[in-house]
Structure 1
Amino acid sequence: MRFLLVLLFSILLLPSAWAIRIREFRQIGTAAPTRYQKLELGLALETPPIRNPYDPTEITVWAEFVSPQDSVYRVPGFWYQDFKRCTTCAPFPRASPTDTCLYCTKCPENPKYLTRVATRLPWRVRFAPPTAGRWSYRVVVTHNDSTVFGPRTFVNVASSTHPGNVAVHRNGRNFAFADGRLFFPLGMNITGTWVLTDYNRLPYRDAYVGITRIAESGGNFVRVLMTHSHFGIEGPDGPAGRYDVRQNRAYDLDAVMEYAAQRRVYVQLTLMTQDELFNSEEFGRAWQQHPYRKLLPPDATTEAFFTDSVSRQLLRQRIRYVMARWGYSPALFAAELMGEADLFGAGIKDHQFWDKDNFRNVRRWTDEMLGYARSLAPQHLYTINTSFAFSNFITSDTAASLYRSPQVDFVQDHFYSSDLNVEHQRAFLARRAAKLFPGKPYQLAEFGLIQNACWSGVSNFTAKRYPPGLLFHDLNELHNTLWSSTFNGSGGAALYWWANQVFGLCYGGQYHYLRPLQKFLAGDSIFDMSYEPIASQCPGTVGPKDAVHTPTTPGNCIPLWTVNKENGTDPDLLPSGVTTSDEAVEVFALRATSRIVGWVHNRHNYWYKLPHSSGPSSAPECADLNDNQPTTRDSVPALVGKQATILNVERPGRYRLEFFSTYPFYDITRDGKDEQGGIIREFTTEVRAADGKLTFTVPPLRPLGKGPFAPDYGFKAIWLPDSAPPTVAPKATTPNAPVKAKPPVRKNAPTPAARPTPRKR
């Protein structure tokens, strides 16, 4: 007994052999940090055996940073595994020596692509100091009931010209950097294969190539999805709450974020999609394989993902890891909680977003998860998105609307359509978002041409401008929506979804369409002004291959699934502010006191009247889309001598009118060389506003052929003081007398519609 007492007394007096200790601690890298550049700390610890280094209830690593202004930033750390990337792996397979396509759903993979290597400092903390000067920091480690502190360390942070993190613009409609400069997102989704296979090089390659080509083409934005098949850190191949088997994906995402920062491309990181909750034969049985599902009762349905306390705690842990590892990055534009949150039920009766109290449960879950993410990295924007815009606004219940959450900084919808009036439908959604959610910018996060699950790839008449063997040369649906969304009141250009069709070399590289729009917007002040989105009215006619609207909406001027909803016929949401002498001329523009900036388009120039291809060919509805493919430009009639009138122009007097090319690889100077967009100087003229109207003649709207004429143009009307020298107007574009406005097309009230059935693309 005496021996046991002595032994117990010794244990109480002496440090425990299992006491936690910081064995090694240093800054990663030797370069001196600069403002908004990553400052990374590495630690090696001596601890008792750790069951799960990702579980913050067992062990946490933090760093406390103190700025020169004495502001304190508490930054979470994370467990890190190092890898060696293969530099001698075999190239991607090709169908033939002349094949230019690098895309495949399952490539033969070299197992040495990413090889685990010993990690000397497996605990990491990442931080991007927002100010220059002398900073201090110390690390804090807590394991169970023991806490140790690292030494107080000082570091000098150099100044830089970095504009800072992105926030909501002061106008509540756009985005701006911390220094006040405008940020207008211009880019695409860069998701590739959706097939759940063993991890390979495709996700990293798609992201790297996408960022490269977007940056080279004047873009600044990408949306990256952390799905099970891509960069998701948690999936069916590992236990809930452990990310060991997916550290290779995290390592690749590290490289993606670093590369994006180098190219000044900003990333919207989608933390998950509803795909991991699918539980039907049609959409897959992902929920049955979900690691959280294995911890729930046998009868647990997908709703438990949002309501069960264990599931919510595990998701908060996942969010903590994501924000700790990538939340430092100034290239992180926003964290998106879930893509298409309203489709988690995937059509299963009684277990959908719209059933029972599910939409309120998802709203409470959104508040909780985004609030937690914001507490970890408050410098970033946060959002969630829905596939159907009306999913977020249930019977005007503010407690159920996802976008009314105080944790949601901006609004994002997805909308696919093949309708002739699709640009008016998307303008309707932008206007609707501005009215329902003031102060929150709007962006269309996914769009594409789709009908009855058939993707239709559309070329223009420009095959000779591209290398031989390319399948699609100009994606008309990408081009049109890119320009219309820029001027329909959105805070950023719409994001095209079919990224693999764009970045795969065999599809032609339509990312080049970003450059003309970037040139058009560069240096323009319209978004910093008090502006109003305006548009020509929807003509009320339908295309031969429009989706069947049941009940029929007048001219399919509003989206199919808005029929009979709470504001589907609100006149404030219908386009107005512009009249045209021909309903085939459509205009989307932004009107400010001293300038009008926008896009004018020949509405005949849309997918059905251009060469197109749909699939799979075995599906009758897809084959139907391929009938009557045009072979000549005569399918798109030219519009010559047409006029547009901007209404409610505030400032009378002279305006310089400029038109811009919206197409890449197009000769607009008639010198035999292709330009990448830019002003068409021979179209520049001068017009005069009077009685609140500004009327101008549109240059001929012709199918693509010999420049400079094209089926659409960007335009700017800039007010001129009386002292300004006159603009020489070419005879071909001299304006005629103002055109009398047409009476508005009356909209009939739609009758009730059946709830749409969600479809996974």
Structure 2
Amino acid sequence: MLLARPAAAQGAAVSAIVPVTEAPVRAYSKFEAAASLTKQFANPYDPDSIAVEVDFISPSQKRYKAYAFYLVPYARDTLGWHRVPTTTPWHVRFSPNEAGRWQYAFTVTDKTDAAHVTSTVSSPATFTCVPSPAHGFLRVAANKRYWEFSDGTSFMGISEDVRSAFDPAKIASCTPDPSQLCPGGKPCYTLLTRPQQQAWIGKFHANGGNLVRLWLEPYSYEFEWDTLGNYGARQNRAGDLDSLIEYAGAHQVYVHLVLYGSRNLSTNAGTADEGSGWALNPYRRRFGLASLLDFYTQPAAIRAFKNRLRYIQARWGYSAAIASYGLMNEPEMPDDATAANTIYYPNVAKINAWFEDMAAFLKTDAYPAHLVSVDYGYGFSSATFSSPNVDFSSAHYYTWDKNAQYQFGYIAQHHLRKYDKPFAQLEFGPQTWLSQGNQDIQQGIWSSAFSGAFATAFLFGPDGRYNNGCWGGDGIRLFKPLSVFMAGEEFNSLTFTYQPIGTALSAYAAASRASGGRPLGYAKPAAAPAFDAAGFAPTADYFAAPFDSLNLARDIVASDPRLEVFALRAPEKILGWVHDQAYYWYNTPHRAAGNPALFPLNPTGPDIRNPAVPLDTSMPAVSPLANQTITISGLAHNGVYTVEWYSTAYAYDSNGTGKLDGGRITNPRLGGSSRATANGGILLVAVPKLQPTELGEPPFAPDYGFKITLESEADHDDTVSTSH
């Protein structure tokens, strides 16, 4: 225990400092120290009353500032959470980025007497940092398209949304202790929430996942909902989040942390069932806010939100497992059309200024400066994404359209062109209850990986058979083949940037059209719901000029219109994915009936199942596609290329041994590797047979990943050829 320097005035000072972490500390891991003060405070969470900061000096004499925070420790058992007594409730957490001897000291500023503000500095303490294999914090790569770590290691996100297990029915299907279910079937926080999410993250990691989107919500880890500015009532939840973030970091799963939800601002009556909504919002209750706009503009509310951000940064910002912050989820859609139309859009400049202010606060006020963005629902023209303090753009997109994969690619390219910074689709969702084989999910994951986004699209709400609600059903295994495919690939090269290419349509043509010009959901009976009735979708900006003529780089031509290809092209390598576009939910066994239990968007409408897919069959209405080719143009080099094919299915015998191992296909009978010769920048590639999985015979694959690598450059070529 280190005794601190005595206070020089009548104010709070540090009386003791106790290291929490064992020495030595590994680089980019957590150093934590706890302290006691000579004075207690009515609200120790209020930095306008008591502010504790810690200055760190590195071995090379660089200086860093971190916030200390007040922590009430809790222990868990089968009966609940139990507060643990402590004499050192003030903690600081820090991730050293340099090996050697570090020095640190606490500065305590006591503001309880506005006329006599005092500031005291503790005696310096030290700790030793040793090297580690950790890559450090995530940042934007120099190419402004992808992410990388502090040490320059490339990062490609294999991604998923992780929401709280707040639906008791979904929790119950995993047979937990019935005593942990929420009263009245309403969302609540239970002892099961963190362990379930932790177990799911472990399984996600085991299947190649490395990036999750985690929310602070009133029924999960939201720590401020009871009393504004005083976080004491939910310290047990904050402690659970401590454990979850440490677990994620230990398993190399990085967290995009959503700091606030627009449903906290919603006047929709349904939010009361979640324990959220404007009526319960502590900012409205504390400051008497008359409207949602006051939340963004009243100085006291702005100050209180910055104090909230300070606590988040102090408690969890130390961790390299925090990939990024999302300041708010869907601010333009507080689940209330009236509020969106009368508050958000007419006042968008004022609200954007709020996001700019908060982003700047997070970026400049303490170490480390994590990546920051805003999780817009539409996002297509948000001025916030142009801010230098906002590091990447995003959008949410829900569709059941046959051309969904192309639309994902177009949305990514639109954002990359407009904002010149990385992009991620932070939510996507087909009608996940439709497809019995998870085709929509698998196709969304693979197509988005080659869209130019820095991560695969984040699947939202994957409940039921896919089973995010039970934290680790079969669906989680869908990520494994893509992670195997992407392993070792470099996306942050200083010498090239991957260019998305494909068998492209214009954005307008990629949407199935109704007679009135609006997009439809799929090739289906006319009475079925329209595309934009199936979920929110881009409006005029997406489907009208000038975007109706924009398209992805159409440098791949397929021999059959059923073949759809998405790829990333570099001077000496192409990574890509080819699939049979006809193999989608409508042409496969599904449950799109006029039944509210199975198809909530069409509870009273017609049965819109494909008549070619009878109820009593598991066979799709899709024929095999054989002897096909794709022609790729725009190659930087002529010569011989190696073509390798990869299985996209986790249960696939890729080498003919009988083992379901997925990955690169080595058996020539199933596709194997081949060579192709390019001339004039054009390469012709033979595609392995594509056929529905349900046929149950090799290769039983409706899609493949592929890698095309320059093997030897030719001085000149006269022909374009392929050979096996």
TM-score normalized by the length of structure 1: 0.81
Bigger mean CA deviation after superposition, 704-713 or 714-723: 714-723
Aligned partners of 1:28, 1:446: CA distance in 2, in Å?
38
Deviation at 1:633, TM superposition (A): 2.9
Task: Give the structure 1 partner of residue 418 of structure 2.
Answer: 436
Task: Give the structure 2 partner of residue 746 of structure 1.
Answer: none
Task: Give the structure 2 partner of residue 738 of structure 1.
Answer: none
Matches within 5 A, 1:663-742: 663-682=649-668, 683=671, 684-704=673-693, 705-721=696-712, 734=723
Matches within 5 A, 1:499-514: 499-501=462-464, 502-504=467-469, 508-514=473-479
Deviation at 1:340, TM superposition (A): 1.2
SS class of match (2:151): coil
Corresponding residue to 2:259 among 271, 295, 300 = 271
Corresponding residue to 2:93 among 121, 126, 132 = 126
Task: Give the structure 2 partner of residue 170 of structure 1.
Answer: 142
Aligned partners of 1:139, 1:181: CA distance in 2, in Å?
34
SS class of match (1:135): strand
SS class of match (1:368): helix
Matches within 5 A, 1:475-554: 475-501=438-464, 502-504=467-469, 508-525=473-490, 528=493, 529-538=496-505, 551-552=517-518
Aligned partners of 2:339, 2:299: CA distance in 1, in Å?
24
Count of residue pairs the alignment pairs up: 658
Aligned partners of 2:340, 2:243: CA distance in 1, in Å?
42
Aligned partners of 2:513, 2:434: CA distance in 1, in Å?
17
Matches within 5 A, 1:121-520: 121-144=88-111, 145-194=117-166, 197-235=187-225, 238-281=226-269, 286-297=277-288, 300-344=290-334, 346-348=336-338, 351-352=341-342, 354-356=344-346, 358-374=347-363, 375-390=365-380, 392-393=381-382, 401-438=383-420, 440-450=421-431, 455-460=432-437, 475-501=438-464, 502-504=467-469, 508-520=473-485
Task: Give the structure 1 partner of residue 566 of structure 2.
Answer: 588
Tell me if 1:563 matches 2:540.
yes
Counterparts in 2 of 1:53 and 1:354: CA distance versus 1, 3 Å: closer
Counterparts in 2 of 1:194 and 1:275: CA distance versus 1, 3 Å: farther
Task: Give the structure 2 partner of residue 83 of structure 1.
Answer: 74
Aligned partners of 2:376, 2:486: CA distance in 1, in Å?
28
Aligned partners of 1:686, 1:387: CA distance in 2, in Å?
44
The alignment yields a C-alpha RMSD, in angstroms, of 2.9
Tell me if 1:621 matches 2:602.
yes
Conservation of the 8 A alpha-carbon contact between 1:416 and 1:448: yes
Conservation of the 8 A alpha-carbon contact between 1:186 and 1:220: yes
Conservation of the 8 A alpha-carbon contact between 1:218 and 1:515: yes
What fraction of aligned residue pairs are identical, expressed as a percent?
A: 29
Aligned partners of 1:362, 1:617: CA distance in 2, in Å?
39
Conservation of the 8 A alpha-carbon contact between 1:65 and 1:74: yes
Bigger mean CA deviation after superposition, 249-258 or 151-160: 151-160
Tell me if 1:65 matches 2:59.
no
Task: Give the structure 2 partner of residue 654 of structure 1.
Answer: 640
Deviation digits for residues 219-262 of structure 1, max 9, x if unmatched?
A: 21111101111111111xx2211111111110000001110111
Counterparts in 2 of 1:78 and 1:457: CA distance versus 1, 3 Å: farther
Conservation of the 8 A alpha-carbon contact between 1:549 and 1:556: no
Deviation digits for residues 688-739 of structure 1, max 9, x if unmatched?
A: 1122211112111101123334000001111121699xxxxxx9x958xxxx
Task: Give the structure 1 partner of residue 114 of structure 2.
Answer: none
Task: Give the structure 2 partner of residue 641 of structure 1.
Answer: 627
Aligned partners of 1:625, 1:535: CA distance in 2, in Å?
35
SS class of match (2:26): coil
The one-letter code sitting in structure 2 at the alignment partner of 1:720 is E
SS class of match (2:282): coil
Deviation at 1:604, TM superposition (A): 1.2
Aligned partners of 2:358, 2:195: CA distance in 1, in Å?
30
The one-letter code sitting in structure 2 at the alignment partner of 1:276 is N
SS class of match (2:234): helix
The one-letter code sitting in structure 1 at the alignment partner of 2:481 is P
Unpaired runs of at least 5, structure 1: 1-13, 90-111, 394-400, 461-474, 725-730, 736-761
Conservation of the 8 A alpha-carbon contact between 1:191 and 1:206: no
Aligned partners of 1:414, 1:549: CA distance in 2, in Å?
26
Conservation of the 8 A alpha-carbon contact between 1:78 and 1:324: yes
Conservation of the 8 A alpha-carbon contact between 1:591 and 1:597: yes
Conservation of the 8 A alpha-carbon contact between 1:19 and 1:146: yes
Counterparts in 2 of 1:327 and 1:550: CA distance versus 1, 3 Å: farther
Counterparts in 2 of 1:17 and 1:68: CA distance versus 1, 3 Å: closer
SS class of match (1:61): strand
Conservation of the 8 A alpha-carbon contact between 1:516 and 1:662: yes
SS class of match (2:32): strand
The one-letter code sitting in structure 1 at the alignment partner of 2:690 is L
Task: Give the structure 1 partner of residue 172 of structure 2.
Answer: none
SS class of match (1:524): coil
Deviation digits for residues 263-314 of structure 1, max 9, x if unmatched?
A: 111111111111101112365571011111113447x111111111121111
Aligned partners of 2:321, 2:657: CA distance in 1, in Å?
40
Counterparts in 2 of 1:84 and 1:693: CA distance versus 1, 3 Å: same
Aligned partners of 1:258, 1:607: CA distance in 2, in Å?
38
Aligned partners of 1:206, 1:549: CA distance in 2, in Å?
47
Task: Give the structure 1 partner of residue 171 of structure 2.
Answer: none
SS class of match (1:458): coil
The one-letter code sitting in structure 2 at the alignment partner of 1:286 is G
Deviation at 1:477, TM superposition (A): 1.6
Counterparts in 2 of 1:663 and 1:624: CA distance versus 1, 3 Å: farther
Counterparts in 2 of 1:606 and 1:17: CA distance versus 1, 3 Å: same
Aligned partners of 1:444, 1:427: CA distance in 2, in Å?
10
Deviation at 1:554, TM superposition (A): 10
Counterparts in 2 of 1:722 and 1:532: CA distance versus 1, 3 Å: closer
Deviation digits for residues 95-127 of structure 1, max 9, x if unmatched?
A: xxxxxxxxxxxxxxxxx3221121231110000
Deviation digits for residues 515-557 of structure 1, max 9, x if unmatched?
A: 11111111234653332100102399999x9796963359989
Counterparts in 2 of 1:123 and 1:421: CA distance versus 1, 3 Å: same
SS class of match (1:430): helix
TM-score normalized by the length of structure 2: 0.85
Aligned partners of 2:24, 2:562: CA distance in 1, in Å?
59
Aligned partners of 1:637, 1:15: CA distance in 2, in Å?
81
Conservation of the 8 A alpha-carbon contact between 2:166 and 2:188: no
Bigger mean CA deviation after superposition, 143-152 or 613-622: 613-622
Conservation of the 8 A alpha-carbon contact between 1:670 and 1:708: no
Aligned partners of 1:372, 1:35: CA distance in 2, in Å?
26
Conservation of the 8 A alpha-carbon contact between 1:662 and 1:713: yes
Counterparts in 2 of 1:526 and 1:723: CA distance versus 1, 3 Å: farther
